[in-house]
Structure 1
Amino acid sequence: MSEHAAPRDGDADQDAADAASDRDRSEAGGTRVSRRTLLGTAATAGAVGLAGCTARQYRSPPDCGAVASAADAADGYVPLPADDGQSMFRRGLRRYGYYPDATVPEAVRKAWSFPVNRIGHTAAKSTPRPTPDGETVLVAGDTGTIHAVAPTGERRWTLETGAGRSLGFHGTPAIVGDTAYIGGYDGELYAVDVPTGDIVWHTRTRDFGDAIAIGSSPAYVDGSLYLLTEHKNPASGALWEVDAATGNPTWSDDRLWGMPHPSPAIDCEAGRLVTGSNDGVVYCWEFPSLEFAWSFQTGGEGGPDGKPMAGGRFDLGAQIKGTIPVYDGAAFVGSWDGRFYRLDLADGSEEWSFQTGDIVMSNPAIDPKQGIVYVGSDDHHVYALDTETGDELWSADVGGRVIGSITATAETILVGSYDTHLYALDRETGDRRWRVENRGHVTSGPIPRGDRIYYAERGDFSNYYDEDEETVLEEPGHAYCLVPDD
C-alpha cells in the first residue's frame, strides 16, 4: 500500500543488499547495524523537527513490571493496561480486542453519525477510541482530520493535520492521560492534547528515516511508544521506540521488508514484542531489551502470487496486514496465504495452522478466559478456533470480506463486513443476533463502551476497481454510534 509515495532513498539496490547481509549476520547471532539505520540516525541527528529531536536520545528501557504483575493478578484474563488512565488499539498491549464487561444490546439503533472518510484507499479505517474516562471519543479520518465528540455526539473540537496531504489516518490513537498519540500516512507521529485539540508535538518524516507513512497504532509502556513506519525504494519498514514526552526516537530496527501496517503487540510476562509485515514475515524481539529473538516466514517463499519486491528480497502473496495478538505463550497470525497460525513466542515455531477459504487480513480477537480466537477472512466468514488446538468451533457467513478488527465480549462477537453491515454474532454458536446496514464497507473495529457501540466505515465509491472508468465518491464514510433500541 502507499506505492505512490515519494522514494525513501535512491540507492535501492545497495540498501537491499546491505539489509540482507545485516539480516544474515543477525540470524547468525552477530551485531546488526545497517546502512539504512545509519542513514536514518544521521537524518535525525542533522535536523531539528517540531518534536525537538536534535540527536538520537539515550535509551532507558521501560519498566514492564507493573504490567506483568497486573496480568498475573488477573490470571491473564484481562488485556492490559485496563482503563488505568490508558486507552489503546485492541484494548491493550496484548491486542486481544476483548471487552469482558461489555453488554451488547438485544437490539440497536443509530443514535448519531457524521462523515469522516473520503479516500478510496482500501486499508482498514481508524477505529474510534474512547478516552479512559469514556467522556470523549476520538475519531481519526482518512482526510487527516481528528474529531473529538461527546458520547451523545456533540462536537468538542476538530483538528486538521498535515496527514491530509496524503491518505490521512488509518491507525488508531493510543490515549494516555490527556494526550493522544497517532501516526499518519504523511509519515509523521502526532501528540494531541485531548481536552483542547492542540498539537503538543509532532515529528518530521526525517525523524523516522524519511518514512512515507505510519499505518501502525502505537503501543505505550512506561513513557515509551512503539510503532512501525513504512518506507519506499526499497519497500521496507522499521520498528521504533519513541519518548512519549518529547517525540524523540530512542531506538529503531529497520530489518522489516514490505512496508508494514500492523501494530506491535507486547507481552510483558513472556518478554516479547511481535509484529508482522507485507513480506509475510513475523518478527519478534525480546522485551524490553529489544534484542532480536526470531522470525517466521508464512506462505513458504513469499506466498502464491510470487511477485518479487525490493530487488527480489521478498515476494508478495503472504502479506501480514493484521495486528498479531499474543496469548498463552503464543502469537496468533493471519496471512494472505490463507492460513491462520499459532506460533510459539519463545522460538517462533509453528504449533498449528488453520486453512480458510481466502486471504486473512483482519485483526483477530481473543477471549482469554475461554481460550478462543475469532478471525475473519476474505472468504466472507468469521471463524471461532480453539487457541490450544486450532480446531474450528464454528464459522459464520457475514456476507462480505472481513478486513477490519473483530471485537469479543462475554456474550457477543462484533464484526464489520464489506457487505456494508455491522454484525453481532452469538459468541457460543456464531448465530446472528442482529446486523446494521451502513453506507460503505465497515472496516474499523466496533468499540463497546457503556451502552454504546462506536465504529466507522469506508466511503461509498463507484468504479473503484474499474481501470477504464473514473472513480467517484458517492458518499463519505461515516462514524457511527449505536444505542439500545428500547
Structure 2
Amino acid sequence: MDGDGDGIGAETDEDASDRGATVGRPTRRQLLATVGAGSIASFAGCSAAYGRSVPDCAGAMADDGDPIVPRPVDDEISMFRRGLRRYGYYPEETVPDTVSVNWEFPVNRIGHTAAKSTPRPTPNGETILIASDTGRIHAVTPDGERRWLLETDAGTSLGFHGTPAIVDDTAYIGGYDGALYAVDIDAGELIWQTNPRDFDGAIAIGSSPAYIDGTLYIMAEYSNPASGALWEVDAETGRPTWHDDDIWGMPHPSPAIDCDAGRLVSGSNDGVVYGWEFPSLERAWTFQAGGEDGPDGDPMADGRFHLGAQIKGTIPVYDGAAFAGSWDGRFYRLDLEDGSEEWSFETGRVIMSNPAIDPEQGIAYVGSDDHYVYALDTDTGEELWSADVGGRVIGSITATAETILVGSYDAHLYALDRETGERRWRVENRGHVTSGAIPRDGRIYYAERGVFSNYYDDDEATVLEAPGHAYCLVADE
C-alpha cells in the first residue's frame, strides 16, 4: 500500500523538591467546598474505595531477580511505552539502514497541539490500532489492509491523543470527551463506554491507561478549577473503584507503576510529580519542579498554582527512580522512595517529550524544545551525546537494539545511532511528527499532526491544509 490513491489512502472521508502538595496550598477539594455543598457531592469520595480489589503485582514483578522487565511478563498485554514502567524500549527490534513508506492514510485533522496517539500493535502483531484526533479508531493489518473503522463519541471533542492498552482481545483508551472506552478488537465494536459523570465530570482523558491484574489506572482532567484525578477502574465493567482528586493542573502523563519499588507515579500541569504507594494507593510524596518557591508563570485556579513548570511527559520508573521532564527546562531523576531530587539536567527550553530508558546500559534519552535529543547517564545525569533534530520534540522517543527513533516538529522522523547520536536517516512527512514510532517485525508505525495555516493568528481563521497521516515504513529494497 503506497498511499497513491489505492486502498486506505483513497478514503477521503478520513481526510482527526520534595514538598507535599505545596505547604499552605488548599487542596482541590477544599477549593470546591467554597462553592457550596451541593456542588461538591461527587467529590466527597476522594481517595475512597468503592469495593476495590487490590491488584496482584506478581505478574509484573522482576523475573528471577532481573530488574530489566520492559513490559509485563504476560505476553497478551500491550501498552503505551511498552509496559507499566514506560521504558519505550525494544531491544529485540532492529531498524533498517534505509527505509521507504510502505503505506499511509489520513487520520488526524484537529489543531490541538498535544502529541498524537501512537499506533499500537496487538500482542500477536496481526492488527495495528491507530486512534485519531477525530474520535475514530482504525484497525489495519501490518500490510495496511483495513480490518474495521470505529466511530466514537470522542469525535465530538478533540478525539483521542492517548494510546490504547491492549489486553487479550480488548483495547482500552480514554478520549478528550472525558470518557473511557473498551473495544472488542476482533469485532471492532464497543464493549462498554463510561460517561464523564462516572469520573466526576471529567472533561478529558489524555493519558494512556496502565493495566495490571484486571485493573486500569488513568489520569482525568477537569476545568473550573484546572485540576485532575488519578482513577482506578475495573477493566471488565468500566466501574471506577477508587480515586484521588487532590491534584492541581490538568494532567496529561500516563501513570507508571514499579511493582518492585511499590510506587505509582505521574505528573501534572502544576509542575508537581505525584507518588503513591502501590498497590495500597496511599499518597507517598510530591515533588515540585521549578524551584522551592514554585514556578513562575500565569496563575491558575485562583492562584492555587502557577504555570511554568508543567509536567507533560509520561515518567518512566527505573532503578529505584522516576525520570521527569518539566517546562522549567530541566530533566529530573527523583528517588522513588521519598521523591527527593537526585540530579537534574538543564536544556534551557521546555521539556515535554516522553523519554526512553535503556535499562541494560542505564541511559535515558530525552527530547527538548531546543531541537535536541540528549542521551544521559541515568546514575549521574552526565550528557553522553546530543543530536539536533531540526525542531521541537514533544512526542515519544523509542529505543531499539541500535537506534533511537524520534519525531520532530520539522516534519521528519529521525533514526539516530544509539551509541553516538549520529543521524542514520530521516523521513520527510507532512506535519509535525508527534506520535511515538513503534518497531514491529521489520515495520515502523507512527503518526503526525495535520498541517494548519494561521493556527497561531488570532485575526485569521485556522485552515486545515492537509490531514495528518499514519505511516508504515519498511526496509528500502
TM-score above 0.5, yes or no: yes
The equivalences for 1:252-291 within 5 A come to 252-291=243-282
2:361 counterpart of 1:370 = yes
The equivalences for 1:81-480 within 5 A come to 81-82=72-73, 84-300=75-291, 301-304=293-296, 306-480=297-471
Among residues 35, 54, 57, which one is paired with 1:61 in the alignment?
54
User: 1:302, 1:245 → 2: CA distance?
Assistant: 41
| C-alpha distance 274-36 of structure 1, shift in aligned 2 (>3 A) | farther
Instruction: Indicate the residue corresponding to 2:42 in structure 1.
Output: 39
Note the alpha carbon deviations across 1:243-264, whole angstroms, 9 max, x for none: 0000000000001111100000
Q: TM-score, normalised by structure 1?
A: 0.89
User: 1:62, 1:296 → 2: CA distance?
Assistant: 26
SS at match of 2:28: helix
| C-alpha distance 21-165 of structure 1, shift in aligned 2 (>3 A) | closer
| C-alpha distance 35-251 of structure 1, shift in aligned 2 (>3 A) | farther
Query: Partner amino acid for 1:424?
Result: A
| C-alpha distance 102-401 of structure 1, shift in aligned 2 (>3 A) | same
SS at match of 1:90: helix
Note the alpha carbon deviations across 1:447-484, whole angstroms, 9 max, x for none: 00000000000001111111122111000000000000
> 1:77 Cα shift?
1.9
> 1:39 Cα shift?
1.6
User: 2:151, 2:438 → 1: CA distance?
Assistant: 24
> 1:424 Cα shift?
0.2
> 1:22 Cα shift?
9.5
User: 1:346, 1:36 → 2: CA distance?
Assistant: 36
8 A Cα contact 2:447 2:469, kept in partner: yes
| C-alpha distance 42-57 of structure 1, shift in aligned 2 (>3 A) | closer
What is the Cα-based RMSD across aligned positions, in Å? 1.9
> 1:38 Cα shift?
4.7
| C-alpha distance 394-42 of structure 1, shift in aligned 2 (>3 A) | closer
SS at match of 1:146: strand
8 A Cα contact 1:40 1:210, kept in partner: no
SS at match of 1:163: helix
Query: Partner amino acid for 1:128?
Result: P
Query: Partner amino acid for 1:356?
Result: T
Q: Give the length in aligned residue pairs.
A: 447
8 A Cα contact 2:266 2:314, kept in partner: yes
User: 2:341, 2:435 → 1: CA distance?
Assistant: 29
Instruction: Indicate the residue corresponding to 2:28 in structure 1.
Output: 19
Query: Partner amino acid for 1:303?
Result: P
SS at match of 1:402: coil
| C-alpha distance 40-158 of structure 1, shift in aligned 2 (>3 A) | farther
Q: TM-score, normalised by structure 2?
A: 0.91
Note the alpha carbon deviations across 1:3-41, whole angstroms, 9 max, x for none: xxxxxxxxxxxxx95537599xxxxxxxxxx99885246
8 A Cα contact 1:418 1:441, kept in partner: yes
| C-alpha distance 98-198 of structure 1, shift in aligned 2 (>3 A) | same
User: 2:345, 2:111 → 1: CA distance?
Assistant: 31
User: 2:464, 2:31 → 1: CA distance?
Assistant: 45
8 A Cα contact 2:136 2:155, kept in partner: yes
Note the alpha carbon deviations across 1:401-438, whole angstroms, 9 max, x for none: 00000000121000000000000000000000000000
Query: Partner amino acid for 2:136?
Result: T
User: 2:243, 2:413 → 1: CA distance?
Assistant: 38
Identity level (%): 75
Query: Partner amino acid for 1:153?
Result: G
> 1:76 Cα shift?
1.9
User: 2:379, 2:38 → 1: CA distance?
Assistant: 41
User: 1:288, 1:22 → 2: CA distance?
Assistant: 28
8 A Cα contact 1:279 1:302, kept in partner: no
User: 2:341, 2:406 → 1: CA distance?
Assistant: 27
User: 1:86, 1:22 → 2: CA distance?
Assistant: 39
8 A Cα contact 2:132 2:161, kept in partner: yes
Query: Which ranges in structure 2 are unaligned for 5 or more consecutive residues?
Result: 1-24
Query: Partner amino acid for 2:295?
Result: G
Query: Partner amino acid for 1:118?
Result: R
| C-alpha distance 406-439 of structure 1, shift in aligned 2 (>3 A) | same
User: 2:40, 2:132 → 1: CA distance?
Assistant: 31
SS at match of 2:247: coil
SS at match of 2:248: coil
Note the alpha carbon deviations across 1:38-85, whole angstroms, 9 max, x for none: 524689xxxxxxxxxxx97401100002211xx233722231215610
| C-alpha distance 38-64 of structure 1, shift in aligned 2 (>3 A) | farther
User: 2:437, 2:237 → 1: CA distance?
Assistant: 31
